A and B are shown apart, each in its own frame.
Chain A
């Protein structure tokens, strides 16, 4: 197995609160890593630290991605290198057209890769194809970014962005929250289609259901800002029966 990301002794805080207290985690190319843990364990802070959210201050340790130390990189540099986060609560941006935003993002990435930009017609063709595959309404591409979208539509829009941008490392931050069973199936199917030997998924979730649809290769349990346990799907079974208390720190 080839390493995609290695997190070493990561300590991070938000404001004055120390949340991550020494995370060690290795994630591999082509694998799906599920991150589970009780509320306040540090799951979202970990994902924010990986994408370079300005609220998170890394105080110790490092994040190695594709062999490079990205701990202090700007968020857009990480994104251009292939790190993508599907947000738990995607922001609404009135006045920024969905298609325009996505073309800007795609062309930024193409420029980074030394590729020519897609013109409006080329991009629209690609976008319509993806929209059709995802079963989204076409009018959504001409609306303002996430404005007035239902919870399910927002999550699908995140998946649409992922499909267009074709990232190498995908964080799905509670992508299952607020989705009904049909929407969850649709989102999961889209994610499964994106699974390739070169792409890594990090799925943050509280629930087993999504892991029935997207089978993880590894499950990591976080608590109090540390990884307590790493294993396979059997961890989820144990959690369902006993709760997080079975993985208390020794």
Chain B
């Protein structure tokens, strides 16, 4: 099957989704958030279709999802499968609706108490198209951390997946997405929707390390006094296209968005940071901040950095955005070499110093070590 051949008429039962998709049209290379990703060859390709089955869940200390099927979960997590989950009706990505259209049962996790949870996602099917969705509901006042880890064996495959996250009032969710993709023929498009109710906070850390073609499209809405702190690192090599796009809407007053993106690109890799921060008219006294910096390690690498803001209120506490793309600082490199540090090691020190701000915020040495291993391995 080709994704572009999906016949919308076959999905009459999901009328609202079909209508939405018809009004938006199918994604094309000219669709703004796909403009630099190269979506056509991915959607044009023939795949074996696969619908993840539901199976019995083995008890474990973490959640394991293999090709869209939950195989393991802790006993303390309430897992169910939703036939008609509530869908974000203002997502900007067509594939968000296609993804929901193709999924019969959405995986649903309820977070009812403070917790730290690990989700291991395994992608194993070769030559296959796998769509699935995950909904996470964070109950009021809950403080939770989720760490998502990728294990990728799937060659020549396309995965559609994404989170629908509901943060109830006064809740906090830290989502760490550690996406290491070591196969160049692996493709993934992941539209996410995050709704932050009053006084809630969504902390997002995304680490995209690898050589694959992946794009994550986040629609995040913030009600009164809600906050989104989003931090992103891309380290792309070879022919990789790794990217994140965002529409973050400050809808309630005193809401805050802070977004940092740090990117290191090598070979002919392409990184995408396309973030639109929107302050709606009722969102008085909101603060938005966006900062994207990129280092290109050689001439063939390419960064698409588009920090953007749309502000529809006169009363705003902060609105700052900036973007820089450059090479490693030659004077700093020379300074380190003049002290006897080998060129490659000096480069690594500078790259790490560039990412340090985000590693510091996360306070997780493991991710830093993984980055160093990956950096050294392929350098």
Contact = CB atoms under 8 A, between A and B. Distances in A.
B341 interface: yes
Interface string A131-166: 000000000000010000000000000000100010
Interface string A94-138: 111000011011001100100000000000000000000000000
B343 interface: yes
B353 A104 contact: no
Nearest to B353: A95
B32 interface: no
Given A112-B340, A165-B339, A165-B340, A91 B352 contact: no
A133 B353 CA distance: 29
Contacts of B343: 74, 76
Interface stretch (A79-87, A183-191, A195-203): A79-87
B162 to A, nearest CB: 33
A108 B335 contact: no
A109 B342 CA distance: 11
B379 interface: no
Q: Which of B332, B334, B345 has the most CB of A within 10 A?
A: B334
Contact of B349 (A54, A79, A80, A101): A101
B83 interface: no
A165 B357 CA distance: 29
Contacts of A101: 336, 339, 341, 349
- Name, among A74, A76, A90, the residue most crowded by chain B CB atoms within 10 Å (CB to CB): A76
A75 interface: yes
Q: Which of B330, B341, B345, B346 has the most CB of A within 10 A?
A: B341
Contacts of B355: 95
B337 A93 contact: no
B331 interface: yes
B349 A96 contact: yes
A96 B353 contact: yes
Most chain-A CB neighbours within 10 Å: which of B343, B345, B349, B357?
B349
B295 to A, nearest CB: 12
A112 to B, nearest CB: 7
Contact of B334 (A54, A95, A161): A54
B5 interface: no
B77 interface: no
B23 interface: no
A93 B332 contact: yes
B338 interface: yes
B370 interface: no
A112 B342 CA distance: 11
A227 to B, nearest CB: 24
Nearest to B354: A95
B152 interface: no
A104 B335 contact: no
Given A96-B349, A101-B349, A104-B345, A74 B354 contact: no
Contact of A105 (B329, B339, B350, B354): B339
Nearest to B345: A104
Contacts of A144: 353
Contact of A95 (B330, B346, B356): B356
A51 B341 CA distance: 13
Nearest to B335: A91
Q: Looking at B337, B350, B357, which has the most chain A CB atoms within 10 Å of its CB?
A: B337
A172 to B, nearest CB: 13
Contacts of B349: 93, 96, 101, 104
B357 A79 contact: no
Given A54-B330, A95-B353, A95-B357, A87 B340 contact: no
A85 B341 contact: no
A169 B283 CA distance: 63
B341 A74 contact: no
A144 B335 CA distance: 14
A165 B338 CA distance: 11
Given A75-B334, A161-B339, A165-B339, A91 B356 contact: no
A84 B339 CA distance: 7
Interface in B315-351: 329-332, 334-343, 345-346, 349-350
A53 interface: yes
A94 B350 CA distance: 9
A80 B340 CA distance: 5
A96 B340 contact: no
A194 to B, nearest CB: 16
The 8 closest A-B pairs by CB, nearest first: A95-B353, A95-B356, A79-B340, A105-B339, A75-B337, A108-B340, A96-B353, A76-B337
Given A74-B337, A76-B338, A101-B336, 17 more contacts: A51-B338, A54-B334, A74-B343, A76-B340, A91-B331, A93-B332, A93-B335, A93-B336, A93-B350, A95-B352, A95-B355, A95-B357, A96-B353, A101-B339, A108-B342, A112-B340, A165-B339
25 contacts: A53-B334, A54-B330, A74-B337, A74-B343, A75-B337, A76-B342, A79-B340, A87-B335, A90-B335, A91-B329, A91-B332, A93-B335, A93-B336, A94-B353, A95-B355, A95-B356, A96-B336, A101-B339, A101-B349, A102-B339, A105-B336, A105-B339, A108-B341, A109-B340, A165-B340
